[in-house]
Amino acid sequence: MADEQASDSEYSSEEVEKVEEDRERFLHFSRVVMGVMPNRSYHKKSKAAKAKKKQKKRDQASYSVTTGIIQSEDMTITTEVNCPCHEGCKIDHGAFYIAQTISKRHGRLDRVNVKEDTGSEPNWISVSDAKALGLLIHEMDVPLGFKTLNGEVSAATHQVSMTLVGRADKSCHDDFLIAPDGFPVEGVVIGRRFIRKWGHPFALFDRKEGDEVLLVVQNKISQTEKITIAERRVEVDRKARELDERRRQQAASQEVVEGRPRKSLSLTSGSTVMQG
């Protein structure tokens, strides 16, 4: 029972730093017991060895991204949303909801847009939103490979941890990958991992109504950034329509070959990040 409680515990940054400091002291003591007296030369070479090991990990991850070994995420705008609950479900799973989170910048609650995407396993947040909330951005040990709408291969290399607070003060903590430039969503996109752990946003947060903004009080996006985001969204939508047209043409061609009709896809608002 104690082991289960320990595995589910949440650690603060201060606790992790203290554990790491204790770990370094223990390693130092172990070296002394073994007769290895750490000096300036030892520390220098130890630091170089750690840097070499870290670079090796990055090189391996980079190779995996280019060869498709790492799990791939497609940055796409799909035109069909399959209800993840049950057939005939009336819930709009592509809608925006409003959650609250603590802004690290000024220590108060801010509101943030939340959108569900069952086509993506991880969660996503744009770098501008992460900075606006004052979140600590961490570099990932192993990048996650993904393909952009243009078919270009890239990698998510950084992530943040944040807690979203919903109805009845329900707190949901998870990691969010920093999305690439041109990310067409203001706020956060939650994927299947979050949904399995906490549930769908319609069951956790209030539906976004009216002209709610992404962040309130001090964390409003500048007018220039809004224009840039709007221009990027127009470009992404244009490419999405082109992609949808190509898919429909391919489907039509295959119908002719197979000699049996298929149901046509209706153009609706859909997911933003889909696993390839």
Shared domain check, 218 and 82: yes
Residues 34 and 87 both lie in one domain:
no
Count of domains forming the chain: 2
For 122-150, the pLDDT digits (tens) are 888 988 888 888 889 998 888 777 665 45
253 has pLDDT over 80: no
219: its two tokens: 């964390």
Q: What is the CATH number of the domain that holds 82?
A: 2.40.70.10
Tell me the residue ranges of DSSP E strands in the chain.
73-74, 96-102, 109-116, 124-125, 138-147, 153-165, 171-178, 188-190, 206-207, 274-275
Residues 110 and 59 in one domain: no
Question: Do 134 and 45 lie in a common domain?
Answer: no
- Looking at the structure, do residues 59 and 80 belong to the same domain, yes or no? no
Q: Which two tokens stand for residue 221?
A: 């996006």
Instruction: Determine the pLDDT at residue 21.
Output: 79
pLDDT above 70: residue 182? yes
DSSP string, 245-265: HHHHHHHHHHHHHHT---PPP
pLDDT, tens digit (0-9, with 9 covering 90-100), for 199-240: 888 888 888 875 443 333 333 445 555 566 667 777 777 777
Domain check: are 55 and 180 in the same one? no
pLDDT, one tens digit per residue, over 75-118 is 433 333 445 566 666 676 778 888 888 877 777 778 888 988 87
Q: Are residues 119 and 219 in the same domain?
A: yes
What mean pLDDT do residues 245-253 have?
Answer: 80
Is residue 175's pLDDT more than 90? yes
Identify the domain containing residue 48 by its residue range: 12-67
CA distance 39 to 74: 49
Residues 36-60: tens digit of each pLDDT: 666 677 777 777 777 777 776 665 5
Which carries the bigger pLDDT value, residue 65 or residue 59? 59
Same domain for 148 and 18: no
| pLDDT of residue 154 exceeding 50 | yes
CB 153 within 8 A of CB 80: no
Cα–Cα distance measured from residue 34 to residue 263, given in angstroms and rounded to the nearest whole number: 72
